[in-house]
Chain A
């Protein structure tokens, strides 16, 4: 369990997150949707503890951060480090002994090449593999499907399902609504730093329709395309 209570974050006068309170349970998948700049990544950074904030985060774990696997939007890779070494770095960091990396290389990545030369999707898959090898209890995945090919897309969806069955907590942000519909138990809408709606599976279609009609069509209409 993880509870976020009255979380607020601002950069100077610019308020990024306003009074966010959310509960995340074990064995559930949560989606966070919102436009670019709505505060999704900042919220994730606050949860994992690399951004200071006002408010409280409570959990079952005394050392919450050591139980979280965080997949950043743009994972960073040094210029002269191989995929295998990156996996070793993240495993060592959590004191996980992993001697069979090749078996766990389910995305068939060229692990002995420099990770910085990987494509966007390959980088994402390498970072995903690294946090899975760490065997975390909570997974925060910022745009896990970004740049990823269709087969890997299906693998990620399957992984999320398996993690849910293992009673892990998963929080995902994605711009692809269909992937959220397929994986999530609940979706929170983040708009201008505030949670404006939280919907369960039964309301996903209605939310999608609403977003299409209001958010998309209304904006595209303003282009007055002819």
Chain B
């Protein structure tokens, strides 16, 4: 069992190294980002604790994937299997438990701990052949796949919007719109194989224009119901909505161009840091967008021409 956990630790370190970051620095960055996210969540919503608890359980349940649990059952005794599953579930939930304790949510923290441990008995078949319908089927693939993989986040945004209306909290509604746009950005984090770029009969600028246009169209479609509700109930916040939409769209375009700026390699640390920095300093986009565009054209040229 000790070997198993040592191997898991090495795997996480390898992922961080592959991402181009020193593991120790990676853990520190993750802690800072997680703390920032926690503080922001509690700042914008009075339901933060429940959202937080759900995120904790959602993260733990990711480890219950059937193929993974099947592999562990095959190679470890029943007792070892349960200990491993219980320990890793609690490790994943631990940052959330600590967060809940800091905000004095004792019962919720205990609940997350117990349910996370109980989840070690579950095995979830995620590879079900149930096809989730998507409005983005016509022009695959980023939004088609992204929607199917991230629909719980869209549902969460919908839930936040309902809460915003019920409790007359415009900020929560604006956060829901920002969350939808952030989720759209996530669709562009995965780089496709060279073959799936090569198939396009387009020049690099045409290819980028095609990708950006689709991203803008589909992101707007996804935001539309949220924006409509927000405008109906919080018309006075239309200016803020416009600002969030424009900024979100600019970040989305940056994500699309960023994906191809280092193609076929995935996003690396300098690129990630540049993007992260642009979140705290939006004028940075004025430099990032043309920089990523020029790089993308250069990287795509050998594949598309």
Binding site for B on A (CB under 8 A): 48-50, 52, 63, 65-66, 70, 72, 76, 78-82, 84-86, 88-90, 92-95, 112-114, 117
Contacts and interface: CB of A to CB of B under 8 A. Distances in A.
Contacts of A94: 199-201
A81 B201 contact: no
Contacts of B132: 80
A188 B131 CA distance: 44
Contacts of B304: 65
B201 A72 contact: no
A113 B128 CA distance: 10
B195 interface: yes
A2 B205 CA distance: 28
B140 A86 contact: yes
Given A52-B302, A113-B131, A81 B145 contact: yes
A113 B196 CA distance: 20
A88 B138 contact: yes
A90 B131 contact: no
Contact of A50 (B140, B141, B192, B195): B195
B131 A114 contact: yes
Q: Which of B141, B302, B303 has the most CB of A within 10 A?
A: B141
Interface residues of B, number: 26
Nearest to A85: B140
B187 to A, nearest CB: 11
Contact of B141 (A65, A85, A117): A85
B129 A50 contact: no
Interface in B173-213: 192-196, 198-201
Contacts of B201: 63, 66, 93-95
Contacts of B139: 88, 92
Given A66-B201, A81-B141, 5 more contacts: A65-B305, A70-B198, A78-B141, A92-B139, A93-B201
B137 interface: yes
Contacts of A86: 140
Contacts of A79: 145, 149
Interface in B97-139: 127, 129, 131-132, 137-139
B145 A80 contact: yes
Contact of A93 (B127, B148, B200): B200
Contacts of B145: 78-81
Contacts of B194: 50
B137 A50 contact: no
B144 interface: yes
